[in-house]
Amino acid sequence: MALRRGSVLAVLPLLVLTLFLVGCPKRPATTAASAPAPAPAPAPAAPDAPVSPPPSAAAPTAPSPSAPGPAAPAPTPAPAPATPPRPSEFRAHDALKDVYFDFDKYDIRPNDARTLDTNAGWLKQNTGQLLLIEGHADERGTNEYNLALGERRAKAAMNYLVSQGVQAPRITIISYGEERPVCADKSEACWSQNRRAHFLVKER
């Protein structure tokens, strides 16, 4: 049985059905020219660069996001809060201690309320400081759920401080979920340290 390379394709006896059309699959587009784009964003989207350059027109103001589309009308009539400063502009302060939470919980426990009272006192003495509250979760639970959980913790701490007389417009919250742990052990000792709200300040 000789194999003759380069020979013309034989016409094999096709007994029944040749079921296919000859066709060439398309490759995904590799140039922008072949992409039928929706209208480009009016605000320039930041290039995929390291975090340090400040955002230009991409202001994180609610309710209108700097989203694609020529006319992005504000879908809800909520008042637009001021653009929050970048988290990297805030610093920790010895006077402001972390508070901690039970697993899968975001209520403020009595001892942590005392810590928050102390934090509130300092903040009311130092009204020139803006406050950033970080909310965190331990590694159990999944990443997206923990992002929401961290947010609820930061919010709970904020609400408590506001109830103690700290001015709400001074406060920004951010959740890091399980993404910024202070320790990595798989133990309750470590997990309990990660279930926290953390406080940072910045001069106005």
CB nearer another protein, residue 19 or residue 94? 19
Question: How far is the C-alpha of 157 from the C-alpha of 196, rounded, in Å?
Answer: 10
Nearer to another protein, 7 or 125 (CB): 7
Residue (11 or 189) nearer to another protein, CB: 11
Give min distance, CB of 64 to another protein, in A.
7
Contact (CB, 8 A) for 136 and 197: yes
Give the nearest distance from C-beta 109 to another protein in angstroms: 18
State which residue, 23 or 128, has the beta carbon closest to another protein. 23
User: Smallest distance, Å, CB 51 to another protein?
Assistant: 5
Residue 89 is classified by DSSP as G
DSSP assigned state of 81? P
**Taking the complex as a whole, how short is the minimal distance between the CB of residue 125 and another protein, in angstroms?**
27
Which residues are paired to 177 by β-bridges? 136
Angle between helices 143-163 and 110-125 (to 10 degrees): 60
Terminal-to-terminal C-alpha distance of the chain: 87
